[in-house]
Amino acid sequence: MSISEVRTRIVATADELYNAKGIQAVGMDELRTAAGVSLKKLYQEFPSKSSIVMAVLERRHRSWTEGLAAEVRAADSPRARLLTVFDFLARWFGEDSFRGCGFINSFAELGAVSPEVAEYARKHKESFQHYVGDLAEAAGAPPYLAPQLSILAEGAQTTAAIAGSPEAAGQARCAAEVLIDAALRERAGRVA
């Protein structure tokens, strides 16, 4: 097995364990056992637990951005692309492994003691808001729409995790439709 395969397996295993139990609850021994590697190999690949946490966050960021972008690209209109964000959330919230946003969870667990984790979580959230901003601009909506939709999506993530139900995505989608339509009407009124 190549080094990259071992590294990938460690990160994937850490991601699953951290999602299920929380970062601080998972020790290096548990991780190495679950990943099927020696402690020596684990530390060769990752010199510290914080380096594993950062690798997990990078993996989550890639997975989130690639998955969301793929679904959004399949939508047939700029308005539908904005709403697809909430459809993507609904599918994610319905997964058995859904425990809330990994960035919100890691920030809550480690943000006060790990500036690196706090900064990465902030950057992830900023990149999402910029992405939604690009979608809103493509739909011809005013700039204020992107933060509103982003806040709806973030609130839906937290609500779904706490409630243990995917219903928050549908509720947020309905609210997003109202906001999108109002913003587009306002923009059309200014143009006319």
CA–CA distance, 46 with 107 (Å, rounded to integer): 21
Q: Six-digit token pair at 179?
A: 């906001």
Count of all residues that appear for the chain in the document: 192
Same domain, 86 and 37: no
Q: So what's the pLDDT on residue 2?
A: 63
Contact 55, 11 (CB under 8 A): yes
Same domain, 88 and 137: yes
Same domain, 82 and 11: no
CA–CA distance, 49 with 31 (Å, rounded to integer): 10
Number of domains the chain is built from? 2
Same domain, 99 and 182: yes
Same domain, 17 and 87: no
What does the DSSP 8-state code read for residue 192? -
Residues in the chain with pLDDT values less than 50: 192
CA–CA distance, 77 with 111 (Å, rounded to integer): 38
CA–CA distance, 154 with 158 (Å, rounded to integer): 6
Q: So what's the pLDDT on residue 146?
A: 97
Q: So what's the pLDDT on residue 188?
A: 77
Q: So what's the pLDDT on residue 189?
A: 75
Q: So what's the pLDDT on residue 191?
A: 55
User: Nearest-CA neighbor of 68 among 110, 101, 96?
Assistant: 101
CA–CA distance, 79 with 156 (Å, rounded to integer): 19
Q: So what's the pLDDT on residue 3?
A: 60
CATH number at residue 161: 1.10.357.10
Q: So what's the pLDDT on residue 112?
A: 94
Domain that holds residue 147: 56-191
Q: So what's the pLDDT on residue 120?
A: 97
Which residues 6+ apart lie within 8 Å of 62 measured at CB? Answer: none
Q: So what's the pLDDT on residue 119?
A: 97
Same domain, 3 and 66: no
Residue indicated by tokens 């929380």: 22
CA–CA distance, 68 with 113 (Å, rounded to integer): 30
Same domain, 129 and 156: yes
pTM of the full structure: 0.91
For residue range 139-166, list pLDDT tens digits in order.
999 999 999 999 999 999 999 999 999 9
| Helix pair angle (3-21, 49-73), 10° resolution | 90
Residue indicated by tokens 């946003």: 101
Give Cα separations from 180 to 32, 73, 85, 140, 171 (angstroms). 47, 18, 13, 10, 14
Q: So what's the pLDDT on residue 136?
A: 97
